[in-house]
Amino acid sequence: MVVAGGTGVLVELNRGLDVPALLDLSRVAELRESTTVDDGAAVRLGATTTYTDVLEHHAAALPGLAAAARTVASRQVRNRATLAGALVLGDPSGDALAALGAADATVEVAGPHGIRHVVASAFVTGPGACDLGPDELVTALIVPVADGPTAYAKAGARNAMARAVCAVAIELHPVARTATVCVVGAAPTAIRPGTAEALVADAWDELDDRVLRRFGALVAEAVDPLPDARGSSGYRRHAAGVLATRALDRAWDAL
């Protein structure tokens, strides 16, 4: 089994996971490299990029991802934990998943049959599951540079060291006059609420309280929450709507 930051693997080992060997990726120089690609339109983050790396080196180009990274765990965990590791753990409420989804990022996967790319919002296929074969590695995340305001709204059981019960990431694209939105914690996978995104495009010139409320309602309709100890499905659906309204309001104010 491969290990990057170890913050997920160690939890599993403590729970009794028995693996013959661990292969540490954290010192593979090529997996740590980040470069701009597509003539500066995107950043290719090597697979062992941590939340701290995002905050220290990519906050200007990727403000949505940085806002989500800022809410993750503690400084100690952010120093070790990688974004790719979070995706492979298959946490459908992951902060990185939300921000990568709203940024329209892709996951670069390499294996014996070559390299393929997966849309980040579709990479987690269910709780604890992802679109990665047993003989494949995530090698990079390709994240478009923000071309407008972004916002991240998260509800957790408390303000720090808490996974999201529900979270909404949004990026506005003023030139295209569109929004990309990703909701986590409100379905077994990340959700891109297409009807809510379309509403923003349609109402771009007249965004007011009525549109904000309608946007929240459309996001709440689009999700499919599973209940667990941290929140009932009703609570998560309600939270998705409230957080969506809040995130769009904040992003719109920054236009």
Residues that bind ligand FAD (CB under 6 A): 1-9, 11, 25, 47, 72-73, 77, 80-82, 84-86, 88-89, 94-96, 137-138, 161-163
Least Å distance between CB 183 and ligand FAD?
14
Least Å distance between CB 7 and ligand FAD?
3
Q: Which is nearer to ligand FAD, 84 or 200 (CB)?
A: 84
Residue nearest to ligand FAD (CB): 85
Q: Which is nearer to ligand FAD, 66 or 84 (CB)?
A: 84
Least Å distance between CB 246 and ligand FAD?
19
Q: Which is nearer to ligand FAD, 4 or 211 (CB)?
A: 4
Q: Which is nearer to ligand FAD, 44 or 163 (CB)?
A: 163
Least Å distance between CB 227 and ligand FAD?
20
DSSP letters for the chain: -EESS-TTHHHHHHTT---S--EE-TT-HHHH-EEEEGGGTEEEEETT-BHHHHHHHSTTT-HHHHHHHHTSS-HHHHHH-BHHHHHHHT-TT-HHHHHHHHTT-EEEEEETTEEEEEEHHHHEEETTEES--TT-EEEEEEEEPP-S-EEEEEEESSSSS--EEEEEEEEEETTTTEEEEEEESSSSS-B--HHHHHHHHHTGGG--HHHHHHHHHHHHHH--PPPBTTB-HHHHHHHHHHHHHHHHHHHHHT-
